[in-house]
Structure 1
Amino acid sequence: MSKAASRIDAEWTFRSKRAAEGKLAKLPVSTARFGAKVGLDSTAPAGRTQSVPVTVQGPAAGKGLKSLSVHVSYDAGKSWKKLTVAKGEVSVKNPAKGKSLALRAKVTDKKGNTGSVTVYDAYFGK
């Protein structure tokens, strides 16, 4: 069992219309995914800085994106530091040996629908 991604919180706020009888409604739900370069043991070299790709999925992807903010926490979510998103990536200092970090992304599409995802213990320093 892996210690990484010990908890993932997700939240969405959106408007949708009632689906026609017998039809499924396609919900305008967007999220973000983090693509940190880590080993198979979910670790990265402690204290080094690395670029972490942030991929937006759903209606906010591509030209549908109004805003994207990304934050990092080194104390299990007690405090958060806003990161600068540039060309779909953020720069993160890897956690100390044996410690972890949490990542949070908040996405808004051009219609005002929002989504957020927080990954606790996203990965560990080694």
Structure 2
Amino acid sequence: MLPGGWNSNLLTETRFTTPWVRTEYVNTDGGARWLRFFRERGPEGGETVLESPLTGYTPALTYRESWNRGVFSPALVPADEYSDGLTRTGDVIRANVPMYGDGAGHAGWAATTRARTALYRDGELFAEHPAVGGKGFRVPPGAADYRLVVETERGAPAALSTRTSTAWTFRSEHAEGDDPLPLPVSVVRFSPALDARNTARSGGIYRIPVRVERQRGSTVGEVRDLTVEVSFDDGATWNPAQIRKGRVTVRHPAAAGFVSLRARAADAAGNTVEQTVIRAYRIASRN
């Protein structure tokens, strides 16, 4: 973005094979800000897209940025940058959440082989459609308890976050005005220290940074409770994990494989989020 709020439509593309290291030099005159994209295309047309926020840089400084590192899961981003998030406009509830944000916090979208968005009202299925996002759900104006569920699956060449499920619960009623009202929801974000191939060492104790990311502009409260479970058999069995000082402690098995993560968070007002990421990251021995 150029000074004065002007947008430049100049896009430059560099093709490469991951993992890859790139050095860029950017212009900062007048407070210019930069927007970057990462696109990964599969052999049969499947695509993953990551997008940075508008970022400003200080002259003569060096910045290091990491892209396309797990865990790939829902991310809540400022509504004026990528999407509306999870909102209500009048009596229409919409879920426009990037479901494959990376561990560095970039918004992310991906081609899916199956998707489902379902809205429950006062415990009953209200409506659903076989896609992520969509045109939204028109609901009665009165106050009610809602549960919004988004499920996705993706296939090869994607090897991580092959199945995800996110369920938000919140209370909502008619929203005045024409602007989307951010609903009181959160997501749980994991940022493990993975190598360039999104792999951690098998065997031993591993600690994963975790945080609860709240939707900006909403009435979501302070986090009251957070629990995390871990699975090493693609979700067939789960075991509770200890959380201490913002880190989840996981004991990796000796064999190579994948780690799946399941989390639940609640705020002081009773709003909740439940997330499951099957094959959140890979583990392997490093000889």
- TM-score by length of structure 1 reads 0.89
SS of the equivalent of 1:28 reads coil
SS of the equivalent of 2:226 reads strand
CA contact (8 A) 1:30 1:56 kept: yes
Counterpart amino acid of residue 124 in structure 1: R
Partner of 2:136: none
Give the drift of 1:34. Answer: 0.7
CA contact (8 A) 1:13 1:115 kept: yes
For 1:17, which of 147, 159, 173 is the aligned residue? 173
Is 1:65 paired with 2:214?
no
When the two chains are superposed, the root-mean-square deviation of aligned CA atoms in Å is 1.6
Counterpart amino acid of residue 256 in structure 2: G
Give the drift of 1:84. Answer: 1.4
SS of the equivalent of 2:184 reads coil
For 1:56, which of 212, 236, 247 is the aligned residue? 212
Large movers: runs of 4+ above 6 Å? none
Q: Which runs of 5+ in 2 are unaligned?
A: 1-156, 216-220
Give the drift of 1:58. Answer: 0.7
Counterparts in 2 of 1:76-91, with a 5 A limit?
76-91=234-249
Please list the CA deviations of residues 10-45 of structure 1 after superposition, one character each: whole Å capped at 9, or x if unmatched.
110101232113121110111101111111211111
* Worse overlay, 89-98 or 28-37: 89-98
Relative to structure 1, the CA distance from residue 100 to residue 51 in structure 2 (aligned partners, 3 Å threshold; closer, same or farther) is same
Partner of 2:256: 98
Please list the CA deviations of residues 43-101 of structure 1 after superposition, one character each: whole Å capped at 9, or x if unmatched.
11111311101110116xxx701100000011111111011111111111235443101
Q: Which runs of 5+ in 1 are unaligned?
A: none
SS of the equivalent of 1:117 reads strand
Partner of 1:111: 269
CA contact (8 A) 1:50 1:93 kept: yes
Partner of 2:186: 30
Partner of 2:201: 45
Counterpart amino acid of residue 122 in structure 1: A
CA contact (8 A) 1:47 1:94 kept: yes
Counterpart amino acid of residue 117 in structure 1: Q
CA contact (8 A) 1:64 1:109 kept: yes
Partner of 1:3: 159
CA distance in 1, matches of 2:213, 2:259: 23
Counterpart amino acid of residue 104 in structure 1: R
CA distance in 2, matches of 1:38, 1:97: 17
CA distance in 1, matches of 2:185, 2:175: 16
Give the drift of 1:8. Answer: 1.7
CA distance in 2, matches of 1:26, 1:70: 26
* Worse overlay, 70-79 or 93-102: 93-102
- TM-score by length of structure 2 reads 0.41
Q: How many pairs were matched up? A: 123
